Amino acid sequence: DSGVTQTPKHLITATGQRVTLRCSPRSGDLSVYWYQQSLDQGLQFLIQYYNGEERAKGNILERFSAQQFPDLHSELNLSSLELGDSALYFCASSAGQDPYGYTFGSGTRLTVV
Amino acid sequence: GENVEQHPSTLSVQEGDSAVIKCTYSDSASNYFPWYKQELGKRPQLIIDIRSNVGEKKDQRIAVTLNKTAKHFSLHITETQPEDSAVYFCAASRSSGYNKLIFGAGTRLAVHP
């Protein structure tokens, strides 16, 4: 167990729908990062939060949004889902602003049908 | 922008042989270079990392080398074992400020008994 908790583990939904993925970082970690991993692909950076504030954005679609709450858990919202959004979504956390000790959660597998 | 290229995409070796995976990065300000191992259906896990103030780091059968002038770094696995079979990702980041990891596309390593 990495200490980073992601729920749900699996999600199946229809095109056009909206889903919310949840991530709880390791105890004491202030940074949360979201990544998308499509089938047999690499890890595409989506967005980073530090202590409740957005700090970096990658190639995140406008249909996607995220936030980090005062208790430091984070949610990734995906709307108007398309078949191509099917992927593994990982979150990772680190203690501070830097990427040392980046630890990943087990991921949420999203299938859009 | 920031980019990390990784080669080869697939690598097949016999048990006991060595395996080498190479990465190049584009951001000359990068100074932190971790490697992650991802087994099928599981989360990426950190196996070794190197910072720019050193040229080489070893941990048992794995080692990483860094050439900052050429902007490339490599993972070396000696005496490979079947349990080394996995996808390996290199990554690069600046280590100061709000910095995320940018990952290579991954190398699928197969170690045959």
Give yes or no for residue A4 having a pLDDT over 70. yes
pLDDT at position B98, please?
65
Q: Which of B27, B98, B102 to mutate to test the interface with A (most CBs of A within 10 A)?
A: B98
Give yes or no for residue B94 having a pLDDT over 70. yes
Inter-chain CB pairs, A–B, below 8 Å? 64
Whether A41 and chain B come into contact, CB under 8 Å, resolves to: yes
Chain B residue closest in CA terms to A41 = B105
Whether B24 and chain A come into contact, CB under 8 Å, resolves to: no
CB count within 10 Å of CB A51 equals: 13
Q: How far B99 CA sits from the closest chain A CA (Å)?
A: 6
Give yes or no for residue B33 having a pLDDT over 90. yes
Q: Evaluate the omega torsion of the peptide bond into residue A8 and state whether it is cis, within 30 degrees of 0.
A: yes
pLDDT tens, position by position, A56-104: 899 899 999 999 999 999 999 999 999 999 999 999 999 887 788 789 9
Q: Supply B21's token pair.
A: 């995976």
Give yes or no for residue B99 having a pLDDT over 80. no
pLDDT tens, position by position, A24-53: 999 999 999 999 998 767 899 999 999 999
Of the listed ranges A21-25, A56-60, B52-56, the one predicted with least confidence: B52-56
What is the dihedral angle through the alpha carbons of B92, B96, B100, B104, rounded to the nearest 10 degrees? 0
Whether A5 and chain B come into contact, CB under 8 Å, resolves to: no
What is the full DSSP assignment across A27-50?
Answer: TT--EEEEEEE-TT---EEEEEEE
Summarize the confidence of residues B27-34 as an average pLDDT.
91
Summarize the confidence of residues A11-18 as an average pLDDT.
97
- Chain B neighbors of A90, CB-CB under 8 A: 43-44
pLDDT at position A35, please?
96
Confidence of residue B91 (pLDDT cuts 50, 70, 90): very high
Summarize the confidence of residues B64-79 as an average pLDDT.
95
B32/A98 touch (CB, cutoff 8 Å), yes or no: yes
CA–CA separation, A3 and A50 (whole Å): 18
- Chain B neighbors of A45, CB-CB under 8 A: 100-103
Non-local CB neighbours of B106 within 8 Å, separated by 6+ positions: A41, A42, B6, B9, B38, B87, B88, B89
B101/A107 touch (CB, cutoff 8 Å), yes or no: no
Confidence of residue B104 (pLDDT cuts 50, 70, 90): very high
Confidence of residue B1 (pLDDT cuts 50, 70, 90): low
Confidence of residue B41 (pLDDT cuts 50, 70, 90): confident
